[in-house]
Chains A and B, each alone.
Chain A
Amino acid sequence: MTSHDIVIVGGGHNGLVCAAYLARAGKRVLVLERRERVGGAAMSEEVFPGFRFSVFSYVVSLLRPEIIRELELPRHGLHILPLESTLTPLPGGDYLAQWNDHDQNRRELARHSPRDAEAYDEFGVELHQMARLIKPILGIAPPDPASLRPRELLDLARLARMFRSIDKKKFNTLWRLLTLSSADYLDSWFESEALKATKAASGIIGTMLGPRSPGTAYVLLHHYMGELDGVFRAWGFAKGGNGSVSAAIASAARALGAEIRTSAPVERIWVESGRAKGVVLEGGEEIRAESVVSGADPRRTFLGLVGEKNLPGDFAESIKRFKFRGSSAKVNLALGELPSFTCMPGRGPHLRGAVSISPSVAYLEQAYDDAKYGQISRRPYMDIVIPSMLDPAMAPPGKHVMSIFVQYAPYRVNGGWTDARREALGDAVIDTLAEYAPNIKSAVLHRQVVTPADIERVVGLTEGNIFQGELSLQQMFFLRPAPAWSRYRTPIEGLWQCGSGTHPGGGVMGASGRNAALALLGERL
């Protein structure tokens, strides 16, 4: 039997971030990853010969800048390439494009609505201010308002001070963002359907909610907090795919002294009289540790690895009620040629940005309607990028890879996920895309469809939820994942959580991993 200071269950990006910070503080850390490679859902794979994909998560924005700095990730190979634009093709051959260049963007918006073009800057300022307000909260262990522990009281007082300093107008805006649907919030700003829909799409990503569901405005803000080089709402693509993010963090962790074992599936977390003693691997190997940190999602961690019998009843209950409801899928395409969009034919700068299939808010809501009743969206929302346009090494010369984020593909699809339904989803995606880019069908060389069931099976994310639990208000902040247990601790002494099922949530942020490590080290967050 071996012994370590800390064993981390799961080598996803948060587990790796946590390991790196703990190792940096001088702890003997061991990361155990079930699969043969690290990264969890942030991984790249040569799925078809010569074609590399970010199979699951596919863009970078929310990755906390302090992690990039403190772990010196660029030195470990991280290079983030900016995604510059968003093209929303419309039925009938028109389009709405959002460009990086201010004048170019304004002119394009004005083509649809001069009012929107003017409102756009103000909207940007408001969300920038809100992101700035919320940003400090990302880096703290959320205090429980019902707690009487001195430390949490201190943190509460600090939060209260922070919120008191917010002027009334901003506070009202924040409150609206926390409670409204993204459609309602956007209605108060814009009139152009395509613009509202494309913005609203950020509010539904990863959730089983529609743009008209209350609470989605916060998810929109959550995505706005993405920050690159000091600029909010900046999205990028990691050279080499999102596996490079994990690889860089793993390299940093190793350089700091952490040990990482792959193909080492943990069977259970070893608990004795309410205390975590270590882990037991499949095959029986026992690894003792002072502390165990789980990067797995709350359900897997507590109901799977710990076991209900070791948990207080009310805690087990709230973990059971924690909502996952995976709603998104990925379609990865190897392309022999670039797609040519009817609205903007041929090669052009628009292919270096995102393409959003979100022609109207009603379109998104209808896609959600299908999903509500257990159907795959007949016409899904899609967020499409062509990584090989930014990093040509992702595909053979002259060929391309396309990554399509698809919603909705409900985990609980009627009849359950089968090969036939997976392919039906793939067909729905290609058929929908072909309405805007007719050459897509002949351009596809290979197709990989990843359903929520596949995400769960391969990566281990419960119900295929990409955030390890829905980012809805009732499970955010001091309620993530369970009341009174939001500060990375658990009812089992010596067992901690570092996955995105904890505050502040998912999106390849790494914040949970960092916060958990600092909390475990007893540092004031």
Chain B
Amino acid sequence: MLKTTPFHERTGALCASQAWRRWAGYIVASSYELSHEREYHCIRAAAALFDVSPLYKYLVRGRDAARLLDRVVTRDVLRAQVGQVLYTPWCDAAGKVMDDGTVARLDETLFRMTCAEPGLRWLEANRLGLEAEIEDVSESIAALSLQGPLSLSILKSLGEIPPLKYFRIARTSLRGIPVEISRTGYTGDLGFEIWLPSRDAIPLWDFIMEAGKNYGLQAAGMLALDVARIEAGLMLIDVDYVPAKKALIESQTSSPYELDLAWAVNLEKAQFVGKQALAAEHARGPQWQFVGIEIGWAGLERLYAEVGLATRLPQTAWRMSVPIYAGGEQAGYATSGGWSPLLKKYIALAHLRSQWAQPGTELDIEITVEHRRKRAAARVVKKPFFDPERKKG
């Protein structure tokens, strides 16, 4: 049976499109309006509100909480300050990514971890005599993501918002509802995630929507989010990579290095799961890289003109494996892509063998034009595609 989130009473009433999607056993809106287009533009020009409650959430507390998490994830949790949030992958012993998420240090001895996949068993398996308790708060904690250039103005009209740097979290209250607010999100824009007890979900939703009226706030669904996260160059589990536990063959797995997450692997740490394998891979260099691809307009236009059509662009972001070629050879494959309405570019995220992964490399991507497979020129570019100053500034 699919579950509904603590906000469903409101999101359900708003969902004019009746387009729903599954996420971790819950249903969430794909788009609220008939098209996701405006929801997308609100992320970039005003503000958008997402229900992200389906995330798996765990509280880890106790004297050794930091040590437990430090052992599991690839980043340095021991040195994380109170109020800091770490984005991090975590790996199996072979150094292959099992999941990615965030670890927020709420206190010296209290952390909240968010995951895309259930993580309780893995955390417990790694506890091994450490003094740390793990509590699954996936259902008791609801979460909203308020993203966009005007998101801060909306929050400020609801309560005292302490100055928050990028990837920092603080406790406060919004119209009397105790919440934690982190300056995080999945859009690559200025934005915040709000964590609160599920029982307060409905009143908080109402407060935010009411305050947002003056700032063009729009409830937004997963279709709009998908476009934004691709522009931000952010990968998605099960779409852009197969988590190690689900991989059926070894070639389906990816290391953090192969996912462009070298910056998130701290090999200086004393010990963590997968360290040995990762150190070895670091020394020899990854075979694959996860890069941004830009599909050239001129080539695309030519392919469509050949059959007498104006250029057609994908209306939503796509999620499938599309071959990429370097001359006669297959250089790799794209896993998600779409038209960026903001950048006016056709962009994609792709896995390429390292020799073809340098920015500027000219490649071809497969594209189907009027039922025929063609190749369009594409170029490797730096991620993120879109990186506004306001995101961190």
Contacts and interface: CB of A to CB of B under 8 A. Distances in A.
Contacts of B342: 74, 79
Interface in B153-203: 153, 157
A68 interface: yes
Interface string A292-305: 00000000000000
Interface string B129-155: 000000000000000000001100100
Max chain A Cβ within 10 angstroms of own Cβ: one of B34, B149, B216, B344:
B344
24 contacts: A74-B342, A82-B37, A100-B35, A104-B34, A128-B310, A229-B313, A229-B339, A229-B341, A229-B344, A230-B310, A230-B311, A230-B313, A232-B310, A239-B45, A352-B38, A390-B41, A390-B46, A390-B216, A391-B46, A392-B214, A397-B153, A397-B214, A397-B215, A398-B213
A75 B382 CA distance: 14
Interface on chain B toward A: helix, strand, loop, or mixed SS? loop
B44 interface: yes
B344 A74 contact: yes
Interface string A81-99: 1101000000000000000
Contacts of A393: 46, 149-150
Contact of A230 (B33, B38, B41, B312): B312
B337 to A, nearest CB: 15
A349 B34 CA distance: 12
Interface in B332-356: 339, 341-345
Nearest to A128: B310
Nearest to B296: A69
Contacts of A128: 310
B45 A81 contact: yes
A523 interface: no
A5 to B, nearest CB: 28
Contacts of A307: none
Given A74-B342, A230-B313, A391-B46, A82 B38 contact: yes
Given A349-B33, A392-B215, A392-B216, 11 more contacts: A65-B297, A84-B38, A100-B37, A128-B310, A229-B344, A389-B216, A390-B216, A391-B45, A391-B216, A392-B150, A398-B213
Interface string A397-413: 11000000000000000
Contact of A79 (B35, B45, B215, B216): B45
B344 A69 contact: yes
A81 B40 CA distance: 10
B147 to A, nearest CB: 15
Contacts of A151: none
Interface string A482-511: 000000000000000000000000000000
A132 interface: yes
A314 interface: no
A239 B37 CA distance: 15
A390 B42 CA distance: 8
Contacts of A419: none
Nearest to B37: A82
What range describes how many residues of A lie at the interface? 20 to 34
B306 to A, nearest CB: 13
Contacts of A232: 310
Given A390-B45, A391-B45, A397-B214, A68 B38 contact: no
A36 interface: no
A507 to B, nearest CB: 18
Contacts of A239: 45
Contacts of B45: 79, 81, 239, 390-391
Interface in B25-49: 33-35, 37-38, 41, 44-46
Given A82-B41, A239-B45, A392-B150, A101 B344 contact: no
Given A79-B45, A392-B150, A101 B34 contact: yes
Contacts of B37: 82, 84, 100
Contacts of B341: 80, 82, 229
B169 to A, nearest CB: 26
Contact of B44 (A79, A84, A104): A79
Contacts of A100: 34-35, 37
A230 B345 CA distance: 11
Contacts of A84: 37-38
Contacts of B33: 349
A397 B157 CA distance: 11
Contacts of B215: 392, 397
Contacts of B34: 100-101, 104
Given A229-B341, A230-B310, A392-B215, A81 B150 contact: no
A397 B216 CA distance: 9
Nearest to A82: B37
A73 to B, nearest CB: 8
Interface in A322-349: 349
A66 B312 CA distance: 16
A82 B41 CA distance: 8
B295 to A, nearest CB: 12
A81 to B, nearest CB: 5
B104 to A, nearest CB: 30
A389 B46 CA distance: 10
Contacts of B311: 230
A80 to B, nearest CB: 8
Contacts of A392: 46, 150, 214-216
Contact of B343 (A74, A132, A389): A74
A100 B41 CA distance: 15
A73 B34 CA distance: 29
A81 B41 contact: yes
A428 to B, nearest CB: 31
A80 B340 CA distance: 11
A100 B157 CA distance: 33
A75 B46 CA distance: 19
A84 B218 CA distance: 15
Interface in B200-221: 213-216
A315 B133 CA distance: 89
B43 to A, nearest CB: 11
Interface in A417-473: none
Nearest to B212: A392
Contacts of A81: 41, 45
Interface string A129-156: 0001000000000000000000000000
Nearest to B47: A392
What 4 A-B pairs are tightest by C-beta distance, nearest first? Answer: A397-B214, A392-B216, A398-B214, A101-B34
Contacts of A101: 34-35
B38 A132 contact: no
A125 to B, nearest CB: 12
Contacts of A68: 344
Contacts of A74: 342-345
A227 to B, nearest CB: 8
Nearest to A131: B310
A348 to B, nearest CB: 12
Contacts of A229: 313, 339, 341, 344
A69 B214 contact: no
B339 to A, nearest CB: 6
Max chain A Cβ within 10 angstroms of own Cβ: one of B35, B150, B310, B312:
B310
Nearest to A65: B344
Contacts of A79: 44-45, 342
Nearest to A78: B344
Nearest to B341: A229
